[in-house]
């Protein structure tokens, strides 16, 4: 019994550590503050499920381009494991790994997957910025 509890406890800690690493990624953490939406700057909100590789992979791809767009776009994670993230994801019908681009006023513009190719992701972000700037 003690061995089973130890294995379960270790597994839970590993999942939490992996989720933290994906959100922080060795750099500045990606915000989970959904209150930033509609506050005068376009937002790109990623629906993220801690236990799913889809959201983790999307977050890693997003992190690769984020520094080039931080001044112009709020990058936010809607953590589906939290009440706020779940409510946001349900409101906009987002599933794990799907991102929503919103105007500076908070109006939803387009939901999209996070492109596998970095140049395609940059292209999508640039195209959306042309519409809102």
State pLDDT tens for residues 6-52.
566 544 444 443 444 444 444 568 899 999 999 999 999 999 998 88
- pTM here? 0.77
Pick the CATH number of 2-132 from 3.40.50.80, 3.30.499.10, 3.40.30.10, 3.40.50.1100: 3.40.30.10
**Parallel, antiparallel, or unpaired: how do β-strands 98-102 and 74-79 relate?**
unpaired
């Amino acid at each position: 019994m003690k061995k089973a509890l130890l294995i379960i406890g270790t597994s839970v800690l590993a999942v939490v550590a992996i989720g933290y690493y994906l959100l922080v990624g060795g750099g500045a953490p990606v915000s989970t503050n959904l209150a930033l939406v509609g506050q005068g700057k376009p937002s790109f909100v990623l629906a993220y499920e801690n236990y799913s590789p889809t959201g983790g992979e999307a977050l890693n791809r997003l992190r690769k381009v984020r520094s080039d767009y931080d001044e112009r776009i709020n990058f936010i994670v809607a953590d589906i494991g939290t009440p706020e993230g779940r409510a946001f994801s349900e409101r906009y019908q987002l599933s794990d790994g799907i991102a929503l681009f919103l105007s500076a006023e908070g109006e939803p513009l387009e939901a999209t997957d996070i492109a596998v190719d970095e140049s395609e992701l940059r292209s999508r972000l640039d195209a959306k910025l042309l519409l809102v700037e």
